[in-house]
């Protein structure tokens, strides 16, 4: 830095008076702070709405107000969960006319970071993307990198991977139940969901050492084998889980208030869902039987017996029921995995810094939110050339502006909770 002044002082913009501010804005090519002629574009009067000309057609459409409409900011700080996201909602009275999600509050530049990290380090960088389904976040890159490197993980490793992945799915779906009720005002189901999650997370911490960002997968297998602590906790949990889930379910599923707020809300038809790119339980609740574990089996899923569950209806209630059914399906899968798990090593022999052959690979897994995939390009060096993650929450969020117009503001949180986005994944 080449400062010569002894005490450079950066003034507060408030010190500029109106004339100077107007001059600076004009010089910068920004429009005046107050329109000379009354425009319909709302950007000048509303706090928090961009005070610059609309850049795109859609932006002009959203931010122009007709008679009786108003822009409300459901700001980045939410009392509801899901993370930091801003929804600019255009309402007429109580009815939503349009929604514009503003993202990027949690953007950490993971894709760029991964271009400068070795392949094993990449597996730690992707953990906090969709932080409620960490194992899936690691599974997809592990598949892609193993394809690039040309190895397969040993069978026991694949079984352990499937086990932890299904455990992760159980607690993630369980949490969705809790969040859905919480967003509607029911205070108790979320705590019951956290009981379930706590038991699973204690179990996973026995096997991986972490409670949330597990860092368990490696290229070529998993890092540690199961141990006594893990197995004993698994047994205890397994004997209690169905009762736990049913206890939580009883409080929510039959509840008349809950039903009247979710049945018929946010209905997504199968075609709409496919066109919007929605995948996962949201898509299956609209009737399309697309499950990556069946459609493009990876790991050991072709050796396990399960059906693809779908629900007709496509509304929030169906999505909720879909997730409960998937919890039960995952528990059934866990039983099969425990039965069939072979002995053997849990990690293939790979060097510390792997240098896969130059090439392209695509690895896709079924995460609790949908199709989670990684597209990796290697140039032969120690770090990936391009590391791209496709996050399902990001794409499912596009359904929100299509589902909400015509509904009440109070339904926004309920419908969003039923789509179950996690902002870490949305913002990467």
Partner 1 sequence: MRNLWTDEDTVEFSIPGDRNVEVLGTLRDDPDLAFFMLADAAAVDYGVDAHFEVVYHLFSWKHPGWLRVRARVDRSEPRIRSITDMWEGAMFHEREMYDMMGIVFEGNRDLRRIYMSPDYRSFPLRKDFVLPDDAADSPAAGVNPLERPETWDLSHFREAVAVTFPPSDLRGDAPGEGVEGGDFADSESRPR
Partner 2 sequence: MDFELLLGIGRFLLATTLLLLLTVPTAFIIIQIELKVIASMNLRLGPNRIGPSGMFQSTIHGFKVLAKEDTVPDQADRGTFTLAPWMVYMAAAMSMLVIPFAPGAVAADFNIGIVYFFAVLGLSVVGLLVAGWASYNKYSLLGGLRSAAQMVSYEIPLTLSIVGAVVLAGTLNFSELIAWQRDHGWLLIWQPIGLGIFYIASLAEINRTPFDMIEADSELVAGPFTEYSGMRFGFFFFAEYVALFIMSGILVSLFFGGWLAPWPLPAQLDGFAGTLYGIFWFFLKTYFFIFVAVWLRATLPRVRVDQLMGVAWKVLLPLALVNLFITAIAVVVFDL
Q: Which residues bind partner 2 (CB under 8 A)?
A: 70, 72, 74-75, 78-80, 94, 181, 183-188, 191-192, 195, 251, 255, 257-258, 260-261, 408-411, 413
Report d(CA 83, CA 102) in Å as an integer. 12
Question: Which of 194, 224, 306, 362 touches partner 1 (CB under 8 A)?
Answer: 362
Residue 29 binds what, of partner 2, partner 1, none (CB under 5 to 8 Å, by partner type)? Answer: partner 1
Q: Which is closer to partner 2, CB of 135 or CB of 252? A: 252
We find the least distance from the C-beta atom of residue 163 to partner 1, in angstroms, to be 24
Provide the minimum distance between the beta carbon of 89 and partner 2 in the complex, in angstroms, as a whole number.
9
Stretch that binds partner 1, among 2-10, 117-125, 198-206, 343-351 (CB under 8 A): 2-10
R_g over Cα of the chain? 24
If the CB atoms of residues 13 and 79 are measured against partner 2, the closer one turns out to be 79
CB 365, CB 372: distance < 8 Å: yes
Beta bridge partners of 92: 69, 95
- Judged by beta carbon, residue 4 or residue 239, the one nearer partner 1 is 4
Report the b/e string of 297-321 with b at 16+ CB within 10 A. ebbbbeebeeeebbbebbbbbbbbb
- Residue 81, token pair as written in the block: 């969960």
428 binds partner 1 per the rule CB under 8 A? yes
Question: Please, which residue, 184 or 331, has the CB nearer to partner 2?
Answer: 184
Please choose, out of 157-165, 211-219, 253-261, 385-393, the segment that lies near partner 1 by the rule CB under 8 A.
385-393
Q: Pick the piece of the chain touching partner 1 (CB under 8 A) from 56-64, 235-243, 245-253, 256-264.
A: 56-64
Using CB under 8 A, pick the residue from 321, 361, 413, 417 that binds partner 1. Answer: 361
Residues 172 and 131: their CA atoms lie apart, in Å, by 10
Nearer to partner 1, 39 or 380 (CB): 380
Residue 44 CA to residue 32 CA, distance in Å, equals: 9
Check binding of 395 to partner 1 (CB under 8 A).
Answer: yes
The single residue listed with the structure tokens 């690039």 is 148
Nearer Cβ to partner 2 (213/247)? 247
Distance of CA 74 to the CA centre of its chain: 19
Footprint of partner 1 on this chain (CB under 8 A)? 1-3, 5, 8-11, 13, 15-16, 20-21, 24-25, 27-30, 50, 52, 55-59, 103-104, 107, 109, 111-112, 144, 147-148, 274-279, 290, 295-296, 357-362, 364, 371, 373, 375, 377, 379, 386, 388, 390, 394-395, 397-398, 402, 427-428
């Amino acid at each position: 830095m080449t400062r010569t002044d002894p005490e450079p002082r950066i003034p507060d913009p408030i010190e500029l008076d109106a004339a100077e501010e107007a001059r600076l804005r004009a010089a910068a090519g920004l429009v005046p702070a107050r329109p000379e002629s009354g425009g319909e574009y709302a950007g000048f009067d509303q706090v928090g709405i961009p005070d610059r000309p609309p850049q795109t057609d859609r932006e002009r459409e959203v931010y122009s107000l007709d008679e009786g409409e108003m822009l409300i900011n459901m700001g980045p700080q939410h009392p509801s969960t899901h993370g930091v996201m801003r929804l600019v909602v255009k309402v007429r009275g109580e009815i939503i006319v349009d929604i514009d999600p503003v993202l990027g509050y949690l953007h950490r530049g993971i894709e760029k970071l991964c271009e400068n990290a070795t392949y094993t380090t990449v597996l730690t960088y992707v953990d906090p993307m969709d932080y409620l389904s960490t194992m899936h976040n690691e599974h997809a890159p592990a598949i892609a990198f193993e394809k690039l490197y040309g190895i397969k993980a040993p069978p026991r490793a694949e079984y352990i991977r499937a086990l932890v992945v299904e455990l992760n799915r159980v607690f993630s779906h369980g949490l969705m139940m809790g969040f859905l009720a919480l967003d509607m005002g029911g205070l108790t189901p979320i705590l019951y969901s956290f009981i379930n999650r706590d038991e699973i997370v204690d179990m996973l911490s026995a096997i991986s050492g972490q409670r949330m960002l597990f860092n368990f997968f490696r290229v070529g297998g998993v890092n540690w084998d199961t141990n006594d602590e893990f197995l004993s906790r698994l047994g205890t949990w397994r004997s209690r889980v169905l009762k736990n889930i049913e206890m939580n379910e009883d409080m929510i599923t039959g509840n008349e208030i809950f039903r009247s707020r979710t049945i018929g809300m946010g209905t997504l038809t199968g075609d709409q869902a496919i066109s919007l790119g929605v995948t996962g339980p949201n898509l299956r609740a609209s009737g399309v039987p697309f499950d990556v574990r069946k459609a493009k089996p990876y790991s050991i899923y072709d050796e396990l017996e399960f059906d693809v569950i779908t629900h007709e209806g496509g509304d929030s209630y169906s999505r909720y029921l879909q997730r409960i059914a998937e919890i039960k399906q995952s528990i059934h899968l866990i039983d099969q995995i425990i039965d069939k798990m072979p002995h053997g090593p849990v990690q293939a022999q790979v060097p510390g810094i792997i240098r896969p052959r130059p090439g392209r690979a695509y690895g896709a897994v079924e995460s609790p939110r949908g199709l989670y995939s990684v597209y990796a390009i290697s140039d032969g060096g120690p770090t990936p050339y391009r590391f791209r993650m496709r996050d399902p929450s990001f794409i499912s969020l596009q359904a929100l502006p299509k589902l909400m117009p015509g509904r009440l503001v109070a339904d926004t949180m309920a419908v969003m909770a039923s789509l179950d986005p996690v902002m870490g994944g949305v913002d990467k």
